[in-house]
Structure 1
Amino acid sequence: MGFAGIPWPPWRWWREKSPRPRPGRRRAKGMPDSGLKGWKVRGEDGSLGAAVFVDFDNLYYGLLSELFQRDHKKTLEASENLLNTLREELKERNLAIVLGRSYSAFDEFPGSEAAHSLALMGFDPQYIVRHKGKNSADLQLSLDLMEVLLTRKDIDVFVIVGGDRDFIPVSRKVLEARRELLIASLPENTSGDLLDRVGSERFLDLSALLEFPEEEEEGEIEEVEGSPREAQPIAAHHSQLKWEPLSDEEAFSPERKDRVLRFLFDLSKRYEEKHGKGEVWLSPFLKNEMPEYFPDLTHPQRRRLINILKEEGKIEIVERKNENGPFPFSVVLLNNEHPRVKDLLTA
């Protein structure tokens, strides 16, 4: 007992007067009691909270070039239908969308035509400024996702509709925060580096969710409402919703080798006209041109593809002295004496 009847040491008195914590409740170290007050990670039905971020231009132009032969009207309709089908697919996976955003230059086509539908579906349009044919959607999407990741503890799963290589850093941050990630994209528009870094189990193949309307042939009997149909929704076949990185046969096929040789030839001609030398620097070629021209390959596959062409004698890698710095650099040169290179150049 201390002075004037006050227990000593003083924390004994505080401990006796303070209410004991209820059993079964533990508080994270350094976090106040109100840190998660009012936040509910799981819904009443056991669903997980999901945030969906849509790179609309990436989705639209992927469908336009690959599946709908430059038909803008059909592509716009297919993009909106695909996002609506994605909502149903996420619901089947027990994910409740608590936040949705879409990114595009909404003052011009195609964003201007899709903004209303996106807002009604719950993907709030976020205006993006376009610069010289490319907008800043990737950057703005990543910044917004990071803000939500740090401030919204009620969101368990982050869904990115887009497969650009620029999403690798933000995807890594999501996984480091012990949240789950889902990349929903078309295979043709998905970076092999992103697929390799995040894992194919976290990818959703949007082409498997596409529904193509069947055109009625002349003389075909119109179906009566309620009559049975043989066709089933594609979304029901979950085995089609994932894909794996390219196999060695696909990644290093003769056709792909020829594409690399033609690409090197075009680059060398372009550099010769611009700089007076037709030499392609190896490092920028692997880091910049190759990922853009072959997005479906991973970085190790691209390096191996160059090494295979070198072993076959179709290209040469020569070291040059750097006149502006202490370190030498390497250039890629076509072997014009190789029979296959000769055939491609003459063709």
Structure 2
Amino acid sequence: MSEIVPEGPEGARQAAVLVDYQNLHHYLKGRIGRDGSTADLAGHLFKALRDRLAADDTRLVRGRAYADFGGLDDHTRHVQRSLYLHAIEPVYVPATMHRNTTDLQLAVDAIEMRDRHPEVTTFVLLAGDRDYAPVVTALLAHGRRVMVVGFKEHLSPYLLEHTDAGEFVDAAELLPANALVPEIEVGTAIQTTEFSAIQDPAYEIDYDALEVVEKFFGQYEEIYLTPLLRRLSDEIGEVEGHDPKSLVADLEECGAVRLERRKGMPYDYTVLLVNGEHPAVIEVREEIHGARVVATDDGLPFDDDAEI
């Protein structure tokens, strides 16, 4: 466990800070300028937090930050160096299919520290998930002071309800003025493209891919890319030179579809948009749904061959 050189009077209270760095990184990543560094901004946050505690006659003696550091965008060494400079020990938690791996490790360490180090009377949790509510409750029940630090707009209301007997600090107040750019609303396009010039699909299998798109996702105006790729794999399989991603690329190139990157929380995502004016798309839709439906002047739909 990381130790900090004591500061202040001998009688100062001792504190431990436990950081869900995985979530902190992803939040800051979406709120800094293009040239900013999440590690540097997190460093400002740690220093401000330490100063805030010192003003209350409390000194940090232990610190840990949990993340799959190898999977972060920032250079791993830079992140770890920044943490060590603030006397916070980086704890590597490998990313798995279970999103709460970091939460679990932090919770286990908090309870273990509570039991083994009675001299630590203040716990600072830099985290915002509702999963941490039982930890807050367990620490408060043993007479510990608990300070939850998080960005209020992304803090779980459930966790806030469980800090009534503790303290909550809005992390945004600990950062320099204008350190964060205005947040992009979830679902907003952050990277978009125009449909390519219309041309015939290069391969017959591209028509098969369009059929999958229309049969299974035709009811949606925009299609999440990940489930579409899975469905293409299930329906068409792995044909040499035509894996699901290359099929989507073919359809992009001929102007039948386009991809758009959207703002998500905590992760951004990609959607696929279909060009309803593309001849191949029209052909596939007619094959699947029958005669083409067109609009009349009075707004009522009729088949192409309907008698009026």
Tell whether 2:67 aligns with 1:68. no
Q: Residues 47 and 105 from structure 1, CA distance in 2 versus in 1: closer, same or farther, beyond 3 angstroms?
A: same
Q: For the Cα contact (< 8 Å) 1:129–1:135, is it kept in 2?
A: no
Tell whether 2:13 aligns with 1:51. no
Number of residue pairs aligned between Structure 1 and Structure 2: 182
Tell whether 2:152 aligns with 1:187. yes
Tell whether 2:54 aligns with 1:91. yes
Query: Which one of the candidate residues 63, 69, 77 is aligned to 1:100?
Result: 63
In structure 2, what is the Cα distance between the partners aligned to 1:206 and 1:75? Answer: 14
Q: Deviations over 1:279-303 (max 9, x none)?
A: xxxxxxxxxxxxx98xxxxxxxxxx
In structure 2, what is the Cα distance between the partners aligned to 1:61 and 1:182? Answer: 22
Q: Deviations over 1:217-265 (max 9, x none)?
A: xxxxxxxxxxxxxxxxxxxxxxxxxxxxxxxxxxxxxxxxxxxxxxxx9
The percentage of aligned residue pairs carrying the same residue is: 28
- 1:134 positional shift: 3.9
Query: Which one of the candidate residues 207, 212, 216 is aligned to 2:172?
Result: 207
Compute the RMSD of aligned alpha carbons: 3.5
Q: For the Cα contact (< 8 Å) 1:128–1:135, is it kept in 2?
A: no
Query: Which one of the candidate residues 157, 160, 163 is aligned to 2:128?
Result: 163
Q: Show the counterpart of 1:9.
A: none
Q: Residues 147 and 202 from structure 1, CA distance in 2 versus in 1: closer, same or farther, beyond 3 angstroms?
A: same
Q: For the Cα contact (< 8 Å) 1:62–1:188, is it kept in 2?
A: no
Q: For the Cα contact (< 8 Å) 2:39–2:82, is it kept in 1?
A: no
Higher relative contact order (CA 8 A, sep 6+): 2
Query: Which one of the candidate residues 105, 118, 123 is aligned to 1:153?
Result: 118
Higher strand share: 2
In structure 2, what is the Cα distance between the partners aligned to 1:84 and 1:194? Answer: 24
Query: Normalization by structure 2: what TM-score?
Result: 0.52
In structure 2, what is the Cα distance between the partners aligned to 1:201 and 1:169? Answer: 13
Query: Normalization by structure 1: what TM-score?
Result: 0.46
Q: What letter corresponds to residue 95 of structure 1 in structure 2?
A: T
- 1:100 positional shift: 0.7
User: Aligned runs of 1:144-293 on 2, under 5 Å?
Assistant: 144-199=109-164, 202-212=167-177
SS in 2 for 1:68: coil
Q: Residues 133 and 169 from structure 1, CA distance in 2 versus in 1: closer, same or farther, beyond 3 angstroms?
A: closer
In structure 2, what is the Cα distance between the partners aligned to 1:200 and 1:110? Answer: 37
- 1:81 positional shift: 1.5
SS in 1 for 2:124: strand
- 1:68 positional shift: 2.0
Runs of 5+ unmatched residues, structure 2: 1-7, 180-218, 231-263, 266-308
Q: Deviations over 1:140-172 (max 9, x none)?
A: 111111100111110101100111111011111
Higher helix share: 1
Runs of 5+ unmatched residues, structure 1: 1-42, 215-264, 275-291, 294-347
Q: For the Cα contact (< 8 Å) 1:54–1:161, is it kept in 2?
A: yes
**Structure having the higher Rg:** 1
In structure 1, what is the Cα distance between the partners aligned to 2:172 and 2:100? Answer: 24
User: Aligned runs of 1:295-310 on 2, under 5 Å?
Assistant: none
- 1:45 positional shift: 4.2
